[in-house]
């Protein structure tokens, strides 16, 4: 089994979970192509960017489940269900990862991905029910454009419907649309980032 260690400094949430699915048990097979997360067998990536301001979400799906891990750090991290990534817990696989803008409001985007996976009967089997395990992390991008425009469940759902195995788009798309870097000490010095 591969080991996955993910470091989560507050300003770089993108590292939080992008790497955690790389321990997918199928990833040791010969890859169809090289580069990007979708080079790992079983992973799909989708983005949805809101049109009203630069924000959105990025979804990574592992419908067969993937083993993950996380190390959450920082003064104000925003996460959902990341405790499930602790190896001592009963749940050993996740089915989706959501990276979203919108600060704490963006955590709602994961509900849309849960709905998407539930409609397809993907999830952890408990008796006759399958419960989709979707972990999420957010960034603060409310200072870029109208802060009332935020990713929500519909954003997550739409990103999930767009998830596929093609080489993912990078940059100012999805969760990277409003991402900034270099704001450790002063927000006014932040520079444009991406995903």
Task: Dig out the tokens for 18 from the structure.
Answer: 């992008």
Contact 112, 154 (CB under 8 A): yes
Region 139-154: mean pLDDT is: 94
SS3 of 27, please? helix
Whether the model pTM is above 0.85: no
Task: Report whether pLDDT(184) > 50.
Answer: yes
Each residue of 103-128: pLDDT tens digit?
999 999 999 999 999 999 999 999 99
Please report, rounded to a whole number, the percentage of residues in the chain having pLDDT higher than 90. Answer: 61
Each residue of 18-73: pLDDT tens digit?
344 334 444 434 334 456 889 999 999 999 999 999 999 999 999 999 998 888 88
Query: Cα(167)–Cα(44) distance, rounded to whole angstroms?
Result: 9
SS3 of 160, please? helix
Residue closest to 49 by CA, chosen among 165, 156, 142, 134 = 156
Query: Cα(155)–Cα(45) distance, rounded to whole angstroms?
Result: 14
Contacts of 81 (CB under 8 A, 6+ apart): 110, 133, 134, 135, 136
**pLDDT, mean over the chain:** 83
Task: Report whether pLDDT(80) > 50.
Answer: yes
CATH level 2 (architecture), domain 7-25+36-192: 4-Layer Sandwich (3.60)
pLDDT of res. 191: 82
């Amino acid at each position: 089994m591969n080991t996955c260690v993910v470091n989560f400094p507050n300003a770089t949430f993108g590292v939080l979970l992008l790497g955690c699915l790389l321990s997918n048990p199928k990833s040791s097979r010969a890859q169809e192509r090289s580069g990007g997360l979708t080079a790992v067998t079983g992973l799909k990536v989708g983005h949805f960017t809101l049109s009203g301001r630069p924000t959105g979400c990025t979804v990574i799906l592992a419908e067969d489940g993937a083993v993950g891990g996380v190390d959450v750090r920082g003064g104000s991290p925003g996460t959902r269900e990341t405790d499930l990534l602790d190896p001592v817990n009963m749940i050993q696989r996740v089915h989706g990862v959501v990276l979203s803008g919108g600060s704490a409001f963006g955590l709602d985007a994961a509900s849309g991905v849960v709905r998407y996976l539930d409609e397809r009967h993907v999830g952890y089997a408990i008796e006759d029910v399958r419960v989709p395990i979707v972990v999420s992390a957010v960034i603060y991008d409310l200072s870029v454009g109208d802060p009332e425009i935020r990713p929500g469940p519909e954003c997550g759902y739409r990103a999930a419907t767009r998830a596929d195995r093609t080489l993912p788009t990078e940059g100012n798309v999805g969760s990277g649309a409003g991402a900034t870097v270099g704001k450790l000490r002063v927000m006014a010095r932040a520079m444009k980032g991406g995903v």
